[in-house]
Amino acid sequence: MPTETVYGLAADVTDGAALTRVFAVKGRPAAHPLIVHVSGEAMLGTCVTGVPDGARRLVRAFWPGPLTLVLRRSRLVPDAVTGGRDTVAVRAPDHPLTREVIERLDRPVAAPSANRFGRVSPTTAADVEESLGEGVDLVLDGGPCRLGVESTIVDLTRDTPLLLRPGGVPVEAVEAILGAPLPADSGPPRAPGMLATHYAPQARVVAVEAGDVGRLFAAMRPSVEACAVLCPTDIPVPEGLARLDAGPNDVSYGQRLYTLLREADRRGIRHVIAVLPPATGIGTAVRDRLLKAAADVP
């Protein structure tokens, strides 16, 4: 199903067989929990045991929209969705087709991004066909996703709210509603090489700060034909290198990110030098995805 962020692989949250298929089709480990999609605040109430004040303010500010809240789960939400956790991630997607599906079903819908585990998220119906092919019963074509990067995830089950994943709602906007800084989850440091690559195309992604492209390209010396630079329009690209144009700003970079990584694979590009945007607005999410796509690179 389409959402404003990326396409989701949807299953009725109360249908155990459908949930099992979601994990099988994605090739996703069972312990990796799914986001539950609801029509709004009332349906959120059926998924959780309580909505703290900060969560309620966020819901009213950003739903429907690209903000996922982690709260204590109710009995409606099975272990299969949460990987056995006592918390659940919930959001109300902002896409008319998918809102209608949830409203008519009158139950929440669990949906991870509709890609194979670890790969690039789909932002068009054609991307879903390419990723999952015969594995799914139906693809609802709602056109290209408006935002192109996944939702922002905020954990509200601790003493203070925690950012689990930057996404479509800028961190600054969440902080403004909460009236407090939103620290990022700083879990145990993971050794390079042990970190599973995520959001990754077939091409090797090397993430660099703007200004480092030339130096990095000289150090890498891949063949020019098999190398491209993913960057905003105003960043110069070394002579002879292909450009994957992320457009003028952080919003266009988010919209085009996954499309351009898929395009790189289609064109047989083996190395993508990705220029990191500044860490503001959607740029924070774009940086996060590029660094994860590049996680196997020292």
Contact residues for 250 (Cβ-Cβ < 8 A; gap 6+): 277, 278, 280, 281, 282, 283, 286
Q: What's the CA dihedral at 192, 197, 201, 206 to 10 degrees?
A: -20
Q: Tell me how many degrees the CA angle 117-121-126 measures, rounded to the nearest 5.
A: 115
Residue 162, H or E segment: strand 162-165
Contact residues for 29 (Cβ-Cβ < 8 A; gap 6+): 23, 117
Binding mask 103-122 for ligand TXA (x = CB under 6 A): --------xxx---------
Shortest approach of ligand TXA to residue 253 CB, angstroms?
A: 16
List C-alpha distances in Å: 115 to 133, 210, 273: 10, 29, 23
98 binds, among ligand TXA, Mg ion, none (CB under 5 to 8 A by kind): none
- Distance in angstroms (rounded) separating the CA atoms of residues 265 and 258: 11
89 binds, among ligand TXA, Mg ion, none (CB under 5 to 8 A by kind): ligand TXA
Residue 90, H or E segment: strand 87-91
Binding mask 22-61 for ligand TXA (x = CB under 6 A): ----------xxxx--------------------------
Shortest approach of ligand TXA to residue 266 CB, angstroms?
A: 22
Residue 233 in tokens: 């329009």
166 binds, among ligand TXA, Mg ion, none (CB under 5 to 8 A by kind): none
Which span sits near ligand TXA by CB under 6 A: 62-70, 175-183, 226-234, 285-293?
62-70
Which span sits near ligand TXA by CB under 6 A: 85-93, 131-139, 238-246, 266-274?
85-93
Looking only at residues 98 through 137 of this chain, which bind Mg ion when binding is defined by CB under 5 A? 113
Q: Which of 245, 223, 221, 215 is nearest to 232 (CA)?
A: 245
Which span sits near ligand TXA by CB under 6 A: 17-25, 145-153, 218-226, 274-282?
145-153
CB atoms within 10 A of CB 94: 18
Q: Contact with ligand TXA (CB under 6 A): which of 153, 171, 208, 228?
A: 153
* Binding residues for Mg ion, total number by CB under 5 A: 1
Q: Which residues bind ligand TXA (CB under 6 A)?
A: 3, 5-6, 8, 32-35, 66, 68, 70, 82, 85, 87-89, 93, 111-113, 150-151, 153, 164-165
Q: Which residues bind Mg ion (CB under 5 A)?
A: 113
